């Protein structure tokens, strides 16, 4: 499955710098507002030491890591929905993302202008939240006007369900609340709600962009963010985009490792961001291996074997027969699939098997 994240924030908070650090594409980053105009799309591999271990053991011809797609859009300002700045038209480009990376400026620097004249991450958060809510309200009202006619004139039961979902969202958004504050017990309504792709219904990671000295432990701005969003169920990541930019330019792993050690950091912010995104979206990884290819696959935590097989191809799920499963630790211990099989460490699992993070899998199917 493909994972897609959209970056939002005010101008000059470090959005494009962060995008450049984690993405294969490069967006222009400069010390003036609205440097990013056109949406930027890039991809990054998901860092996973287990994949590297399998590659060293199997020596495949091809290596395919899991990937994350990143979308960077123009910075939002207060009144964007009314045309201020570059407006909010670019929000459509992140409507179908899985999660929002909301970058907040948590550092002081008189050399980098702030669009609102001072550093206040919670004020900035509220501005962006409001603009996203207004965009969602536009979407809900537009859809509601059409669905209400279908529900009244045609007696369409699905239209009636959707109408109820939209009306609940409308009530919340008009009160300045995000769509994620509305919950539905009915599975049909949950499905309809998800298909609306509302921006404020997506999981959020707040990326606190700090100065170099605050990269390890954060600062007062970060603590204010933590306190404010503690009940949102969001991920909070602290990083210094300037440091990440320096790391991204280093050519060797040894140079990066030495730099991180000097900074007192165990992992780069980019690695931690991807890991946090997986936690936020409740995602895990299974592997397929062989001489032709070693590959990492992303699946939803809790998926059964047929659903995981469907990540590879829908035919695998449709014609699922069984899965052969080796635990990653066993594969490392015994050294090969044949050795695991001989040691009784290859399990045959049916459709009720819940896939575990790190499983090495082979699916048998028939269509």
- 348: three-class secondary structure by DSSP: strand
* pLDDT score at 82: 66
Please state the φ and ψ torsions of residue 241, each to the nearest 5 degrees.
Answer: -60, -35
- Closest C-alpha among 248, 347, 237, 259 to residue 27: 248
pLDDT tens, position by position, 328-351: 999 999 999 999 999 999 999 999
Own/partner pairs, 298-302, CB within 8 angstroms, 24+ separation: 298/1, 298/3, 298/46, 298/66, 299/1, 299/355, 300/1, 301/357, 302/354
pLDDT confidence band for 149 (50 / 70 / 90)? confident
pLDDT tens per residue across span 60-76: 999 999 999 998 887 77
**Short-list 222, 230, 15, CA closest to 102:** 15
At 249-284, the pLDDT tens digits run 888 888 888 988 988 888 888 889 999 999 999 999
**DSSP-derived secondary structure for 14-55:** SHHHHHHHH-SS-----SSTT---S-EEEEEEPP-HHHHHHH
Residues 17-63: tens digit of each pLDDT: 888 888 754 544 444 444 445 678 888 899 899 999 999 999 999 99
pLDDT of residue 81: 63
pLDDT, position 37: 53
Residue 92 pLDDT level (bands cut at 50, 70, 90):
confident
Which pLDDT belongs to residue 64? 96
* Residue pair 96/42 in contact by the 8 Å Cβ criterion: no
Residue with tokens 């994350």: 68
Is the distance from CB of 10 to CB of 75 less than 8 angstroms? Answer: yes
Q: pLDDT value at position 51?
A: 96
Say which residue, 114 or 196, is predicted with more confidence.
196
Taking all residues of the chain, what is their mean pLDDT, rounded to a whole number? Answer: 89
pLDDT at 85 over 50: no
Q: In the chain, what are the helix, strand and coil shares in percent, each to the nearest 5?
A: 45, 20, 35
Task: Please count the CA atoms within 13 angstroms of the CA of 279 that sit on its side-chain side.
Answer: 12
Compute, in degrees rounded to 10, the torsion defined by CA atoms 354, 355, 361, 364: 40
- Bridge partners for 41 per DSSP: 71
């Amino acid at each position: 499955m493909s994972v897609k994240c959209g970056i939002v924030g005010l101008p000059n908070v470090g959005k494009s710098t962060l995008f450049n650090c984690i993405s294969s594409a490069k967006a222009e980053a400069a010390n003036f507002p609205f440097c990013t105009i056109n949406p930027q799309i890039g991809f990054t591999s998901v860092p996973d030491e287990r994949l590297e271990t399998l590659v060293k053991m199997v020596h495949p011809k091809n290596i395919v890591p899991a990937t994350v797609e990143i979308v960077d859009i123009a910075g939002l300002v207060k009144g964007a929905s009314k045309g201020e700045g570059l407006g909010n038209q670019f929000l459509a480009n992140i409507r179908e993302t899985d999660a929002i990376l909301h970058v907040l400026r948590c550092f002081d620097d008189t050399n980098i202008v702030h669009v609102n004249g001072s550093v206040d991450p919670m004020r900035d958060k509220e501005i962006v939240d409001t603009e996203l809510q207004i965009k969602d309200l536009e979407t809900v009202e537009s859809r509601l006007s059409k669905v209400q006619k279908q529900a009244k004139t045609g007696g369409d039961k699905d239209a009636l369900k959707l109408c109820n979902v939209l009306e609940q969202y409308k009530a919340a958004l008009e009160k300045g609340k995000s769509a994620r504050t509305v919950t539905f017990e009915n599975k049909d309504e949950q499905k309809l709600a998800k298909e609306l792709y509302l921006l404020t219904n997506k999981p959020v990671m707040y990326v606190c962009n700090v100065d170099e000295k605050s990269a390890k432990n954060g600062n007062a701005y970060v603590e204010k963010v933590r306190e404010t969003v503690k009940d949102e169920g969001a991920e909070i990541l602290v990083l210094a985009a300037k440091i990440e930019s320096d790391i991204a330019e280093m050519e060797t792993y040894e140079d990066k490792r030495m730099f991180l050690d000097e900074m007192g950091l165990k992992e780069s912010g980019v690695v931690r961001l991807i890991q946090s995104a997986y936690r936020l979206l409740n995602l895990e990884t299974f592997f397929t291996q062989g001489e032709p290819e070693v590959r990492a696959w992303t699946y939803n935590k809790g998926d059964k074997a047929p659903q995981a097989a469907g990540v590879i191809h829908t035919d695998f799920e449709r014609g699922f027969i069984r899965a052969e499963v080796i635990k990653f630790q066993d594969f490392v211990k015994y050294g090969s699939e044949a050795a695991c099989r001989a040691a009784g460490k290859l399990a045959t699992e049916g459709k009720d098997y819940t896939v575990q993070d790190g499983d090495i899998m082979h699916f048998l199917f028939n269509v």
